[in-house]
Structure 1
Amino acid sequence: MLKKKWLRTAAAGIVICLFWSFLFSLGSGGTLNMIEKPLRDMVRVQTDAERQPFSEIKIIKIDNESLAQLGQFPWDRSLYAQLITMLADAGAKAIFLDIVLAEPGSDPAGDAMMAEVMEKYPNIVLPVVFNFKSRQDQPEEMETDSIDYPASTIGAADSQIGHINVMQDKDNIVRMLTLGALDKKGEMVPAVSVKLANYLLDQEQQIRWNESDGKWYRGDKQIPANSRNQVATEFYTKPREEMSLETGYDTRSFFELLSGEVPADFYMNDIVLIGPYAPGLQDEYLTPQNTTLKMYGVEIHANMVQSLAAGKFFTDTGKPVNYAIILLLTFLSLLLFERFRGGKTFIAYGILAVIFILTWIELYQLFSLFITFTYAFLAMTTAFVWSVVNHYVTERKERSRVTNIFGRFVPRTVVDEMLASGEEVTVGGQRRDISVVFVDIRGFTPMSEKLEPEQVIQVLNEYLDICTKAVFQWNGTLDKFIGDGVMAIFGAPVTLPNHPELAVRAALEMKRQSAELEERCLREIGVPVRFGVGVNSGPAVVGNIGSEALRLDYTAIGDTVNLAARLEANAKPGQILISEETLARVGDLFDTVSIGEIKVKGKEHPVLVTEVIGEAAVKARS
């Protein structure tokens, strides 16, 4: 039996591993990566101290003020040439113009000025735009449809161009920096951020593409780029953070510099990025820093430059390692969950989940390493669900034990319900909401004095038979016989939502069935035998009480039981007394008469008592 159990568990583990590993192997993981990427964003959030922008990186913005002063786009290219000349002559280390100049300008003189500037200053970088196919043949490929180079009239050299493609994930958030893209000739065109970062790096730390092995390097250290030449970029500023110069890149207006309000030598030995910084120019993207406020493209390039210069890259473990993690976590979960039952399984799952989450976070914090989270976590969760279901099925197979224990106490219908519910019956007490019925013969002592012992036993057995059948008919549990009295429970061991109603109906059934017995006793012995019944509802401790080795008594204990007994003691012959709590639950199902408040033993204050006369008359339908 034990061997079969572990074989079943092993088979479940194999199926779970294969299922989640298969989903993990499908390209980028589909919608599940839409869960994992935001989680990684949360872990990668940096403090203000950690994300201090480099002071050598500065932004000149083409903002609303500049547009108001210099006119709407497109500007004459002589303006760019004039500003670039001012910056280059002032000693700027590198200048990037984030304006696509793919077509000749309307004024040839402007293009000629730009061509002179490009020839004179080799540290100027202009953008190239790759137009990728909207539908890639392979999910990991980046096939090019066309490429927009600077116009030939500008005369930019190959060393003065870099692509500016900002790739968005499926949730429209920019997380990855594309280090380079292959042109039609198969030549690698680096990103402008690569070009600019190299101006900040020493010669031995230069970022380069190694064509022989198809890898990117920063110095002699390989950059962990994916198959699309992409690496996750850090963000050191939040969108529009130029409003707070204490934490953002230094950002000045194009017109401020052109007009001389800001001196050009302010940018000596700096990397300068010039680009659109106004909503109408349509160069805005969402970033992990803020998923509602967009960041301008020139800001994103500035962050990418610093990310490359700082060399802070995380490594995404390969598929073999992630497959092993899914396998390990699945079988570890199954072995752990098989050792626990019930609520302990949930606790074990919670502890294991917390350990995994903390491990996932610490691997990044300490080693800049990301393992798969979504698939491994879902594999663990699937193992947990399977274990819970397996425990449930196993316990249902053991339900015959419930029948053996309670078959002597409850009617067959109640036993069937217990089997169907799969509830586990335990030794000891459980707090349950129940209804308790106490029944006692009125006039039993005078009758015993007039009859022979054999006759007394005969009458008592008939009376107890009536009570037992009524209790069983309405799915109650016969707790015990107390001399000439009976105690019954409704709502335990099987939960019955309407147990107060069932208890009252059982009491009425006793009253109806006892009429014949009462008449016969009056006729034969001259002493009427009538019942007094008390019913109360509420919480009580219900369970097996006694010696586990020798004898157990399934019963209920508590104030609810005591009050039911007190009501029965106060009931007159033929009366069914119910408590205020029971009355509130049965509503208008029965005809009742208020007895008022009576003082009962064990209660500090009087209790409100009601007599049940019979079932309520059915209301006519409107």
Structure 2
Amino acid sequence: MKLAKNILVGLIIGAVLSCFYIFHTFYMIENNFTDRLTSFTDEKEVDYRIKILAIDEASLSEIGKWPWSRDVLAETAEKIAKAGATAVWTDVLYTEKSELPKEDSEWNRIAKQYPNVYLSAYFKFPPRQQSFQAEELLWPIYEPAPEQVGHINTFPDRDQIVRQVTLGVKDEEKGIVPAISVRLANRLLDEKKQITWDEQGNFYAGDKKLSTGNRNNIYFQYFSSAQKTDVKSFEVFSIKDVINGKIDPSYFTDSVVLIGPYATGLSDQYRTPTSRTLEMFGVEIHANIIQSMLNQDFYQTSSKTVGVVLIFLISIVGYLLFVALRPKWGGLLSLIMIACYVGISLIVFLKFSILLPFIYVVMGIITSCVLSIVTQYVRELGERKRVTGIFGRYVSKSVVDEILAAKNEIAVGGIRKEVTLMFVDIRGFTPLSEKMEPEEVVGILNEYLDLGAQAIFKYEGTIDKFIGDGIMAIFGAPIEYEDHAIRAANAALFMKKEADRLAQQINDKYQSSVAFGIGLNTGPAVIGNIGSSERMDYTAIGDTVNLAARLESNAKPNQILMSENTYQIIQQHFVCTPLQPIKVKGKAEPVVVYELEAERVEVQ
């Protein structure tokens, strides 16, 4: 039953976190982890054949403000293409005619003459559309072969970070238009490893089908950082050095050359996983996509089914483990489980290029741990209340609290300590019971015993046991008090005073006299748990106990007898009357006794 309840709690935790996972509730936190996992830029090699010609601040200062005459980029692209570059691409849209027809003629000639020159297309999508359907395709106005054109659309994620590339977009007239990065990567890939696609929009890396999203999108990795702290990165050259002849175009032989904006004022920058503060230029993002394609370094998130199963499994197993452990060990186990899961996530990513859900599983571990601690606390609190309720019928509340606060487990055994023992008996109860019905006898007995218990608890004594119509109580154990004899004397006087009121009521109703007889003795006794490991009683053993019992048996109704030991301790605080020594069982000599009369303050 308990196991089923714990499994149910684990299922509830898993169900709640699975809902969060399905609806991407903690999207930002989740991506924070996956971005770190996928951005080991310092350890990744970049292909030396991928080069960037930057339209940077220095070029703008030397050549002039943007936009430049189309002749400038046309001549540069031709020089590099003619010198033997594998591919040359300009990250500029030429979808409208120039004011100077000569410029368009030049570009048109170059596009036709050099199959290694690539141009850009761009799809327009309606805002907030549900389906991935473009409303317009902006195609270059020149006449290159279709194989020389690729789309340059960038689709940042919800947090405006670029993590995915859309491999291709379908157009009614042109068919599948691949990303420009696909076109350029294929120029460097072996034929058997090239990125291909079919009419249905499925993409393949060689003979392996790529797992893409509903926009033909797939996650790629970054090999350079927007922070520019990498030792290894793509070679970036200022385009002015090629234009003015400082760099020979033959340097770019057998290379894929990307020409694009590399200045802040040109508004072609995006946030990437490599930095939360610095943005990366669009042309460099394309270079990273190409490198990812060369390495086949695509990755994907695990399916929702796998994610949900993981969350449920961790939540249920975690909760079952945590509730079986003490809180401090549960906390340590949760840290170990999180560390292991981070390691597993890393291995799965590096080996299979799959991102497992992270924050939701970690939350499952933490939630299970915290909830198990809360459950144990509530359970212990309930048990504490139960024990307090039961034990509180025998000792005062303060004694219960101190015993429960003790760190050591209760064990069989005892210790020798100085205590005061009290024995109480009801005088005249047996004759009275003969005149009453059994139910009435029990009622009166309970009233007297309740009165005795109240008096003992009032002065923080411990009820050892009820003996028929009597009580045995200990003062000074289990909680030690230096004034235990004084406490016992006060409890006895309180009992005697309240018993007089109760006796009057009984006498009026049954014409019988009932009163307490009390015996007190102070001295050493063995106090502790006596019995077996399965069943034990907390009690006192020794001659001190025996003498207290003998004094009680010799006490007359409404009389409190005490030993010499008790008298010597309390005589300054109470009025005590010496009596004739009495002979008691177990003692060779008569025992000196005193009668406790009242507190001294009461007679002044």
Give the structure-2-normalised TM-score.
Answer: 0.67
User: In structure 2, how many angstroms separate the alpha carbons of the residues matched to 1:71 and 1:89?
Assistant: 26
Q: Name 2:512's counterpart in structure 1.
A: none
Q: Name 1:43's counterpart in structure 2.
A: 37
User: In structure 2, how many angstroms separate the alpha carbons of the residues matched to 1:105 and 1:485?
Assistant: 112
Superposed, which structure 2 residues align to 1:231-380 within 5 Å?
231-239=218-226, 241=228, 247-380=232-365
Q: CA deviation at 1:336?
A: 1.1
User: In structure 2, how many angstroms separate the alpha carbons of the residues matched to 1:328 and 1:136?
Assistant: 36
User: In structure 2, how many angstroms separate the alpha carbons of the residues matched to 1:172 and 1:407?
Assistant: 67
Superposed, which structure 2 residues align to 1:89-108 within 5 Å?
89-108=82-101
* 2:132 match: secondary structure: coil
1:221 to 184, 190, 208: 208
User: In structure 1, how many angstroms separate the alpha carbons of the residues matched to 2:362 and 2:173?
Assistant: 44
* 1:248 match: secondary structure: coil
Amino acid at match of 2:46: P
Are the structure 2 counterparts of residues 179 and 410 from structure 1 closer, same or farther at C-alpha, using a change threshold of 3 Å?
Answer: same
Deviating 4+ runs (over 6 angstroms): 465-468, 544-548
Are the structure 2 counterparts of residues 383 and 466 from structure 1 closer, same or farther at C-alpha, using a change threshold of 3 Å?
Answer: closer
Q: CA deviation at 1:185?
A: 4.4
Q: CA deviation at 1:14?
A: 2.9
Kept after mapping to 2: 8 A contact 1:479/1:487: no
Q: Name 1:389's counterpart in structure 2.
A: 374
User: In structure 2, how many angstroms separate the alpha carbons of the residues matched to 1:277 and 1:205?
Assistant: 31
Superposed, which structure 2 residues align to 1:545-564 within 5 Å?
549=532, 550=536
Kept after mapping to 2: 8 A contact 1:275/1:298: yes
* 1:314 match: secondary structure: strand
Are the structure 2 counterparts of residues 159 and 429 from structure 1 closer, same or farther at C-alpha, using a change threshold of 3 Å?
Answer: same
Kept after mapping to 1: 8 A contact 2:41/2:222: no
Superposed, which structure 2 residues align to 1:13-162 within 5 Å?
13-26=10-23, 29=24, 31-46=25-40, 48=42, 50-137=43-130, 141-150=131-140, 152=141, 154-162=142-150
Amino acid at match of 1:90: A
Could you list the per-position Cα deviations for residues 141-180 of structure 1 after superposition, in whole angstroms to 9, with x for gaps in the alignment? Answer: 4332333222x2x223322211112221222221112211
Amino acid at match of 2:216: N
User: In structure 2, how many angstroms separate the alpha carbons of the residues matched to 1:89 and 1:481?
Assistant: 104
Kept after mapping to 2: 8 A contact 1:273/1:298: yes
Kept after mapping to 1: 8 A contact 2:39/2:221: no
Amino acid at match of 2:168: G
Q: CA deviation at 1:208?
A: 0.9
User: In structure 2, how many angstroms separate the alpha carbons of the residues matched to 1:134 and 1:184?
Assistant: 20
User: In structure 1, how many angstroms separate the alpha carbons of the residues matched to 2:233 and 2:386?
Assistant: 72
Q: CA deviation at 1:191?
A: 0.7
Could you list the per-position Cα deviations for residues 41-91 of structure 1 after superposition, in whole angstroms to 9, with x for gaps in the alignment? Answer: 11223263x312111011111111211222111111111111111111100
User: In structure 1, how many angstroms separate the alpha carbons of the residues matched to 2:296 and 2:487?
Assistant: 80
Are the structure 2 counterparts of residues 44 and 553 from structure 1 closer, same or farther at C-alpha, using a change threshold of 3 Å?
Answer: farther
Kept after mapping to 2: 8 A contact 1:429/1:545: no
Amino acid at match of 2:243: L
Amino acid at match of 1:328: L
User: In structure 1, how many angstroms separate the alpha carbons of the residues matched to 2:482 and 2:539?
Assistant: 13
Q: Name 1:606's counterpart in structure 2.
A: none
Could you list the per-position Cα deviations for residues 423-452 of structure 1 after superposition, in whole angstroms to 9, with x for gaps in the alignment? Answer: 96566179xxxxxxxxx9xxxxxxxxxxxx
Are the structure 2 counterparts of residues 20 and 186 from structure 1 closer, same or farther at C-alpha, using a change threshold of 3 Å?
Answer: farther
Q: Name 2:386's counterpart in structure 1.
A: 400
Amino acid at match of 1:218: A
Kept after mapping to 2: 8 A contact 1:126/1:162: yes
Could you list the per-position Cα deviations for residues 364-390 of structure 1 after superposition, in whole angstroms to 9, with x for gaps in the alignment? Answer: 233322222222232333333433333
Q: CA deviation at 1:197?
A: 0.2
* 1:58 match: secondary structure: strand
Give the structure-1-normalised TM-score.
Answer: 0.65
User: In structure 1, how many angstroms separate the alpha carbons of the residues matched to 2:188 and 2:110?
Assistant: 22
* 1:479 match: secondary structure: coil
Kept after mapping to 1: 8 A contact 2:98/2:104: yes
Are the structure 2 counterparts of residues 288 and 471 from structure 1 closer, same or farther at C-alpha, using a change threshold of 3 Å?
Answer: same
Are the structure 2 counterparts of residues 266 and 359 from structure 1 closer, same or farther at C-alpha, using a change threshold of 3 Å?
Answer: same
Are the structure 2 counterparts of residues 405 and 228 from structure 1 closer, same or farther at C-alpha, using a change threshold of 3 Å?
Answer: same
Q: CA deviation at 1:98?
A: 0.4
User: In structure 2, how many angstroms separate the alpha carbons of the residues matched to 1:211 and 1:108?
Assistant: 37
Q: Which gives a bigger RCO, structure 1 or 2 (Cα 8 Å, sep 6+)?
A: 2
Amino acid at match of 2:37: V
Kept after mapping to 2: 8 A contact 1:467/1:486: no
Kept after mapping to 1: 8 A contact 2:396/2:457: no
Q: Percent identity?
A: 30
Greater Rg, structure 1 or structure 2? Answer: 2
Q: CA deviation at 1:466?
A: 10
Q: CA deviation at 1:487?
A: 9.2
User: In structure 2, how many angstroms separate the alpha carbons of the residues matched to 1:33 and 1:477?
Assistant: 61
User: In structure 1, how many angstroms separate the alpha carbons of the residues matched to 2:261 and 2:528?
Assistant: 81
* 1:428 and 2:414 are equivalent in the alignment: no
Amino acid at match of 2:87: A
Are the structure 2 counterparts of residues 247 and 196 from structure 1 closer, same or farther at C-alpha, using a change threshold of 3 Å?
Answer: same
Amino acid at match of 1:105: S
Kept after mapping to 2: 8 A contact 1:478/1:487: no
Q: Name 1:204's counterpart in structure 2.
A: 192
Are the structure 2 counterparts of residues 477 and 161 from structure 1 closer, same or farther at C-alpha, using a change threshold of 3 Å?
Answer: farther
* 2:99 match: secondary structure: coil
Amino acid at match of 1:6: L
User: In structure 2, how many angstroms separate the alpha carbons of the residues matched to 1:410 and 1:186?
Assistant: 91
Amino acid at match of 2:148: Q
Q: CA deviation at 1:393?
A: 3.3
Are the structure 2 counterparts of residues 47 and 73 from structure 1 closer, same or farther at C-alpha, using a change threshold of 3 Å?
Answer: closer
Q: CA deviation at 1:112?
A: 0.9
Amino acid at match of 2:210: I
Kept after mapping to 2: 8 A contact 1:13/1:334: yes
1:6 to 3, 8, 28: 3
Kept after mapping to 2: 8 A contact 1:80/1:114: no
Kept after mapping to 2: 8 A contact 1:410/1:477: no
Are the structure 2 counterparts of residues 332 and 481 from structure 1 closer, same or farther at C-alpha, using a change threshold of 3 Å?
Answer: closer
Are the structure 2 counterparts of residues 182 and 547 from structure 1 closer, same or farther at C-alpha, using a change threshold of 3 Å?
Answer: farther
Superposed, which structure 2 residues align to 1:396-545 within 5 Å?
396-398=381-383, 399-405=385-391, 407-411=393-397, 428=408, 469=458, 479-480=479-480, 482=482
Which residues of structure 2 form unaligned runs of 5+?
A: 411-419, 421-453, 462-475, 495-526, 541-571, 574-604
Amino acid at match of 2:109: E
User: In structure 1, how many angstroms separate the alpha carbons of the residues matched to 2:251 and 2:486?
Assistant: 100
